[in-house]
């Protein structure tokens, strides 16, 4: 079964009646496709938010959701964030996202392969409007399977002609963003001696924690997987249990797990001066940017801070140079500095300023 939504020539979107029973969400995307895989029986979602600047690029997320409506909402929200991320980073890309709805007990073996092949067929059906890559729950090995059904992907392992894992470049960019935040908050860009709390020790979070430790930070770490606690000894870090990590006293809170970490319930209890991490959609609602500002907490918009991975896979599409990819990822420090300057000029939050910078580029492209 497939459900497709596409913006018509008059700019309106017709919603198939069946979709209303899956996810009652507001739609401002160019195209959303939901299909149940013939091989796996699992639902896949691809959301194409915008192709104004170029094909929509966004990673494949393999995750278990309570229902398909949650998966649809997640894909659409993340796709919109990718549009902003690419525009703000100056990349000729639009925003998209892919999701495979995994079963509660995980997705392994032949069933995983079947789901990945189904997803590859769905990507191929969009004729290049969407380019997929690696995201939460997926790996370069998974992309190899997807590549058997479509060529519209990036981030394959180097031995398959790709640029490999983008997570080190995301970590480089977030570290650069933290430097910009420290310079803005304390008028000094050095990281040495700053206390940082990294929540989520996946590929990006663990790599970032190492980089921050090497930069002389006092590092606090946390993860829902207790097995990640072993990293504390290697880094000389301090461990916090997941339930208390968000409210840890620190200079910089670094959310690197899934989105929605900052909520109306915890925003008034945060004990940090800066929030800057790699997770997408760290704010459960955009209005929380105002709440953070009212508390004097500097927030680095996630779609600016975590753009290093997108830059990495974009470079693969254009002709890969690791040196150039690192240079562009480190340039996030300068980009975020501009965001803070625009926020000061407009008297707005950094989130509003970042959106304005991205929207200017999108408006310019539409005029052209």
Q: What are the strands, taking DSSP E only, across the chain?
A: 2-6, 31-36, 43-50, 56-63, 94-101, 130-134, 195-199, 218-222, 238-239, 252-255, 274-275, 298-299
Q: What are the strands, taking DSSP E only, across 28-84?
A: 31-36, 43-50, 56-63
Q: Are 245 and 222 in contact (CB under 8 A)?
A: yes
Catalytic positions, written as ranges = 97
Q: Are 132 and 48 in contact (CB under 8 A)?
A: no
Q: Which tokens belong to 158?
A: 């180097």
> Residue 148 — left, alpha, or beta (φ > 0 → left; ψ -120 to 50 → alpha)?
alpha
CA dist., res. 148 & res. 46, Å (int): 18
Q: Is 129 helix (H, G, I), strand (E, B) or coil?
A: coil
Query: For residue 66, what are the CA distances in angstroms to 45, 55, 70?
Result: 15, 30, 7
CA dist., res. 340 & res. 152, Å (int): 36
CA dist., res. 139 & res. 154, Å (int): 12
DSSP string, 183-211: HHHHS----TT-EEEEE--SHHHHHHHHH
Q: Is 298 helix (H, G, I), strand (E, B) or coil?
A: strand
Identify which of 91, 98, 118 has the alpha carbon closest to the alpha carbon of residue 315.
91
CA dist., res. 11 & res. 38, Å (int): 32
DSSP state of 182: H
Cα dihedral across residues 200, 168, 276, 74: positive or negative: negative
DSSP state of 86: H
């Amino acid at each position: 079964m497939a459900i497709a939504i596409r913006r018509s020539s008059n700019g309106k979107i017709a919603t198939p009646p069946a979709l209303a029973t899956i996810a009652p969400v507001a739609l401002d995307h160019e195209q959303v496709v939901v299909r149940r895989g013939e091989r796996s029986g699992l639902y896949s979602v691809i959301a194409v938010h915008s192709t104004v600047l170029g094909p929509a690029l966004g990673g494949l997320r393999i995750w278990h959701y309570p229902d398909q409506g949650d998966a649809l909402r997640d894909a659409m929200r993340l796709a919109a964030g990718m549009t902003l991320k690419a525009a703000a980073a100056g990349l000729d890309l639009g925003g998209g996202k892919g999701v495979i709805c995994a079963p509660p007990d995980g997705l392994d073996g032949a069933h995983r392969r079947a789901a990945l092949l189904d997803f590859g067929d769905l990507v191929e059906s969009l004729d290049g409007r969407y380019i997929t890559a690696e995201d939460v729950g997926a790996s370069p090995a998974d992309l190899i399977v997807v590549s058997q059904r479509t060529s519209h992907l990036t981030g394959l392992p180097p031995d398959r002609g790709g640029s490999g894992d983008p997570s080190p470049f995301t970590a480089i960019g977030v570290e650069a963003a933290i430097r910009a935040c420290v310079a803005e908050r304390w008028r000094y860009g050095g990281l040495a001696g700053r206390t940082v709390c990294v929540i989520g020790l996946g590929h990006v979070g663990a790599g970032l924690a190492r980089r921050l430790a090497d930069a002389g930070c006092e590092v606090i770490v946390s993860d829902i997987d207790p097995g990640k606690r072993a990293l504390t000894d290697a880094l000389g870090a301090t461990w916090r249990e997941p339930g208390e990590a968000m409210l840890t006293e620190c200079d910089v809170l670094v959310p690197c797990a899934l989105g929605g970490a900052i909520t109306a319930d915890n925003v008034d209890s945060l004990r940090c001066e800066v929030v800057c991490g790699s997770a997408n959609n760290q704010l459960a609602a955009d209005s929380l940017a105002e709440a953070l500002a009212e508390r004097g907490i500097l927030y680095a918009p996630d779609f600016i801070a975590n753009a290093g991975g997108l830059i990495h896979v974009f470079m693969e599409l254009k002709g890969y140079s690791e040196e150039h990819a690192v240079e562009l990822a480190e340039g996030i420090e300068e980009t975020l500095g501009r965001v803070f300057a625009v926020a000061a000029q407009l008297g707005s939050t950094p989130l509003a300023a970042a959106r304005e910078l991205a929207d200017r580029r999108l408006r310019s492209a539409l005029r052209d």
